[in-house]
Amino acid sequence: MEDALDNCTSVANGPAAPDAGGASQRDTDGDGFGNVCDADFDNNGFVNFADLAYFRSVFGTADSHADLDGSGFVNFADLAILRARFGSPPGPAGAPP
């Protein structure tokens, strides 16, 4: 499997460190779910308004946890990812259809 993008639909993602090919699926909170699969910032098992509040507080910054797409900046692309996962658990079980 290519590591350029996280695969939210079938497996939990990692590693946090680059593999032999130099690619990595970032997991900045170390919970086993790659960032793009994990908008559950407070790790309570559900993406909800508390996570949205955290996201709002770091919007426009380089916060590594809320930078879901790994662009280096928390922006509207990250908000789109959070929105798609809102109301779901993190990781493969919470993957949008």
pLDDT tens sequence across 58-75: 999 999 999 988 888 999
> What's the predicted TM-score (pTM) here?
0.77
Peptide bond into 15 cis (omega under 30): yes
Q: What would the pLDDT profile of 4-55 be if each residue is shown by its tens digit?
A: 455 565 555 555 555 555 555 677 888 877 788 889 999 999 999 999 999 9
For the chain, domains (ranges, CATH) are 39-88 (1.10.1330.10)
42-77 b/e (C-beta count within 10 Å ≥ 16 → b): eeeeebeeebbebbeebeeeebebbbbbbeeebbee
